[in-house]
Amino acid sequence: MAETALTSTGESPARIAGWRGIAADWSSDQRAFKNVSWGKAMMWIFLLSDTFIFSCFLLSYMTARMSTTVPWPNPSEVFALEIAGHHIPLILIAIMTFVLISSSGTMAMAVNFGYRRDRAKTAALMLVTAAFGATFVGMQAFEWTKLIMEGVRPWGNPWGAAQFGSSFFMITGFHGTHVTIGVIFLIAIARKVWRGDFDVERRGFFTSRKGHYEIVEITGLYWHFVDLVWVFIFAFFYLW
């Protein structure tokens, strides 16, 4: 990696490959993950913790779905739309998934341009990513509205097990909250990129720390994680 901005001594340590390299890094002083900044390490560990949260949500949902004695509503029917006279199952979810996966692509491009210090393209691509995210949340709001109009409530629904509505609102709601936070985060960082905070190493208002373009990549880690979680929700909730 060329981006070892935080290795301030300029010494490029001779790295050993493979497991021996990992053992050497972990038995060295100062840092266990060489060339990983504090912020990036912290985001990875946070995502590990967050993975456990989503895993618990999904496992609880699966437990409820497998143990219920009442029939579970058929997701491909529930999440179908009538478009131009055609009855298309899961169409909205398919579009939402496509939008979110696309946003991962624009995010990856933003990270690339960030490290090239291309302010305009980085900020623009981050805003495009945020727009995709906002579109996703918007479509989710539409889906919620449609289901609520059809009588789905957290405590019951017209088609079967009450846990269908409760799990649906809880899991998609928690994921949607993650996306919304990500959109806000993206816009805030895009503003800083646009303003050139990371070129002049402007200090943070609360932290008085200098900012780096690396924050774009850290934001990206979070964003890709939220996308990945959606893939699991899509598979376990809608396709099962």
Partner 1 sequence: MVDVPYDAIARVPPAEVGDVDLYHPRSWWTKYVFSQDAKVIAIQYSITATAIGLVALVLSWLMRLQLGFPGTFSFIDANQYLQFITMHGMIMVIYLLTALFLGGFGNYLIPLMVGARDMVFPYVNMLSYWVYLLAVVVLASTFFVPGGPTGAGWTLYPPQAILSGTPGQDWGIILMLVSLILFIIGFTMGGLNYVVTVLQARTRGMTLMRLPLTVWGIFTATIMALLAFPALFVAAVMMLFDRILGTSFFMPSLVEMGQLMKYGGGSPILFQHLFWFFGHPEVYIVALPAFGIVSDLISTHARKNIFGYRMMVWAIVAIGALSFVVWAHHMYVSGMHPQFGFFFATTTLIIAIPTAIKVYNWVLTLWRGDIHLTVPMLFALGFIITFVNGGLTGLFLGNVVVDVPLSDTMFVVAHFHMVMGVAPIMVVLGAIYHWYPKVTGRMLHDGLGKFHFWVTFLGAYLIFFPMHYLGLLGVPRRYHDIGEVAFIPPSAHTLNAFITVVALTVGFAQMVFLFNLVWSLFKGKLSGGNPWRATTLEWQTPHTPPEHGNWGKELPVVYRWAYDYSVPGAEQDFIPQNQPRATRAVQGAAQ
User: Residue 202 and residue 186: Cα distance in Å, rounded?
Assistant: 18
User: Does position 12 bind partner 1 by CB under 8 A?
Assistant: no
Please say which residue, 116 or 203, places its beta carbon nearer to partner 1: 203
- Cα distances from 239 to residues 28, 44, 74, 232, in angstroms, run 47, 29, 10, 10
Instruction: Choose, by CB under 8 A, the member of 28, 76, 145, 177 that binds partner 1.
Output: 28
Instruction: Choose, by CB under 8 A, the member of 57, 159, 194, 232 that binds partner 1.
Output: 57
Question: Is the Cβ–Cβ distance between 50 and 228 less than 8 Å?
Answer: no
Instruction: Choose, by CB under 8 A, the member of 19, 52, 84, 85 that binds partner 1.
Output: 52
Chain position carrying tokens 């579109």: 135
Torsion sign (Cα): 167, 173, 174, 179 = positive
Q: In 96-129, which positions are buried (b, 16+ CB within 10 angstroms) versus exposed (e)?
A: bbebbebbbebbebbbbbbbeebbeebbbbbbbb
Please say which residue, 6 or 81, places its beta carbon nearer to partner 1: 6
Sequence letter at residue 55:
S
Q: Which distant-in-sequence residues (6+ apart) come within 8 Å of 64 by Cβ?
A: 161, 163, 166, 167
Binding segment (CB under 8 A) for partner 1, from list 49-57, 91-99, 100-108, 123-131: 49-57
Does residue 90 sit in helix, strand or coil? coil
Please say which residue, 39 or 73, places its beta carbon nearer to partner 1: 39
Please say which residue, 55 or 120, places its beta carbon nearer to partner 1: 55
Q: Is 26 exposed, middle or buried (0-12, 13-18, 19+ CB in 10 A)?
A: exposed
Binding mask 74-113 for partner 1 (x = CB under 8 A): ----------------------------------------
Question: Nearest distance from residue 50's CB to partner 1, in Å?
Answer: 8
Please say which residue, 29 or 82, places its beta carbon nearer to partner 1: 29
Binding site for partner 1 (CB under 8 A): 6-9, 11, 13, 26-34, 36-39, 41-42, 45-46, 48-50, 52-53, 55-57, 60, 63-64, 67-70, 154-155, 161-163, 165-166, 170, 174, 203-204, 206-210
